[in-house]
Amino acid sequence: MINVAIFASGKGTNAENLMRHFANDTRIKIKLVITNKDDAGVVERAEKYKKIIQIISKEALNNYTDKIVEFLKGEKIDLIILAGFLLKIPEALIKAFPNKMVNIHPSLLPKYGGKGMYGMHVHKAVIENKEKESGITVHFVNEEYDNGKIILQAKCDVLESDIPETLSKKIHDLEYEYFPKAIEKLL
């Protein structure tokens, strides 16, 4: 069985979708949820699924990376899934889990990736640039923002009538459908 830690900073809808999807799967166990915000929506969602929750501040993530790696290894974590985790992952943590850390990004990378490109920032840029399609990218994490090897991409049309909010809805629908499939692909 593969033990998973989900890292999330926000509402946790993708994290909850993964917890629900894999709840009875014998190949994978979502063992714990790590967040950098004690008031993040993901905390309540993780509690609902009776997951271990760990709050790790930005300072702790950057200054005590070795202790975090030690904790994750002690929990026998095999795979880390970033589901809306907005902090840059320290290099030491990436090196401790080579090709064992996965992220989801709300665009078709390499377009609209990099520092500061998350959530509505991405959707606004896609619409401002009059793109005809957008989508999601699930990829391995490396030392550069949104630059790891692509595992899966899924697309949607961008209509002239779309605004960031309608595009966001389309992207969320793709995330809910394809993020679990990307993780299954790794199993």
Beta-bridge partners for 15:
none
How many Å apart are CA 86 and CA 49, to the nearest integer? Answer: 22
With beta carbons less than 8 A apart as the criterion, state whether 107 and 32 touch: no
Over its C-alpha atoms, the chain yields an Rg (Å, rounded) of 16
With beta carbons less than 8 A apart as the criterion, state whether 36 and 61 touch: yes
User: Which residue numbers are catalytic?
Assistant: 105
Tell me the residue type at 155.
K
Q: Which residue, 46, 7, 14, 4, is CA-closest to 119? A: 14
